[in-house]
Amino acid sequence: MKVVAIIQARMGSTRLPGKVLKKVLGRPLLSYQLERVKRSNNIDEILVATTDQQPDDAIVSFCQMTKIPYYTGSETDVLKRYYKAACHVKADIIVRLTSDCPIIDPAQIDKVIKSYLSHQHPLQFVSNTLNRTLPRGMDTEVFSFNALKKAYEKADSKLDREHVTRYMINNPQIFNLSNVSNSENYSHHRWTVDTLEDFIFIKKIIEALYPYKPDFTMEDTLQLLEKFPEWQAINTHIQQKED
């Protein structure tokens, strides 16, 4: 069973254009995320799924330069892009990640993958976001290729094509949905990058932790924010756009 992490990434962003390649300590945010995802013990391959639009040539160039496999596809039909990317690498199990989560913890990714592997349903879907208990920015969804294929073939609304897993989540009578929850609720934390405020906040975390512990964990970040609680005021007012 080939487990492939597919990270959707594009330069277009209504609130912070080019955010995935914005630099901290001389490196793009996407490079930090890729470094962290590579530490997963359960992922066989990583693929960046970007669009075939000219602005995203910058992401293609980054992938080529860093020797990261990539796939280019539809900008608006993200479900199709994901399905074709999964076909391209012959994935059996897909780990869906988004490029706005640069400090995602591989241990949290592995918890979701392990939960998926314990279920083994043909149309299985497991995530840590159906009932959020982790900081936003730890978002992980794991599903079978069969589930992705079913959604690709059946989803016909514009919203379902724009959001890869929306059709699965909204059809629990078809898909076997499961959630991974944390014992303590940290869902009030916002560690995703969608605005300039988010970027400033994440930049502070990386600059404080990465030089001394490149493989810093979610717990390390929580401890850091206990020391500097005022940092959270930078982006706590940001309203999340629909997933």
CATH of the domain at 116: 3.90.550.10
Helix, strand, coil: what percent of the chain each, to 5?
A: 40, 15, 40
Mean pLDDT calculated for residue range 60-83: 97
Report the pLDDT value the prediction gives residue 119, as an integer from 0 to 100.
92
Mean pLDDT calculated for residue range 22-45: 98
Residue 142: inside a domain: yes
Residue 240: inside a domain: no
Report the pLDDT value the prediction gives residue 243, as an integer from 0 to 100.
44
Report the distance separating Cα 43 and Cα 135, nearest Å.
22
Report the pLDDT value the prediction gives residue 242, as an integer from 0 to 100.
53
Residue 212: inside a domain: yes
Containing structural domain, residue 229 = 3-234
Strand order in the sheet with 93-98: 70-73, 45-51, 3-8, 93-98, 141-144, 124-127, 176-179
Residue 60: inside a domain: yes
Mean pLDDT calculated for residue range 34-40: 98
The two tokens of residue 183 are: 């014992």
Average pLDDT of the chain? 96
CA 83-84-86 angle, to 5 degrees, is 65
pLDDT band (50, 70, 90) for residue 29: very high
Residue 30: inside a domain: yes
The two tokens of residue 176 are: 């076997």
For the CA atoms of the chain, what is the radius of gyration?
Answer: 17
More confident residue, 194 or 12: 194
Mean pLDDT calculated for residue range 84-94: 98
Mean pLDDT calculated for residue range 42-64: 97
pLDDT band (50, 70, 90) for residue 240: low
Q: pLDDT, tens digit, for every residue of 93-129?
A: 999 999 999 999 999 999 999 999 999 899 999 999 9
**pTM higher than 0.75 for the full model?**
yes
Assess whether pLDDT exceeds 90 at residue 8.
Answer: yes
Contact predicate 41/111, CB 8 Å:
no
Report the pLDDT value the prediction gives residue 12, as an integer from 0 to 100.
84
Assess whether pLDDT exceeds 80 at residue 241.
Answer: no
Residue 116: inside a domain: yes
Assess whether pLDDT exceeds 90 at residue 237.
Answer: no
Residue 56: inside a domain: yes
Report the distance separating Cα 94 and Cα 92, nearest Å.
7
Mean pLDDT calculated for residue range 27-34: 98
The two tokens of residue 133 are: 């208990």
Mean pLDDT calculated for residue range 216-231: 97
The two tokens of residue 31 are: 């490079």
Phi, psi (degrees; rounded to nearest 5) at 201: -65, -50
Residue 242: inside a domain: no
CA 158-147-79 angle, to 5 degrees, is 30
What's the domain count of the chain?
Answer: 1
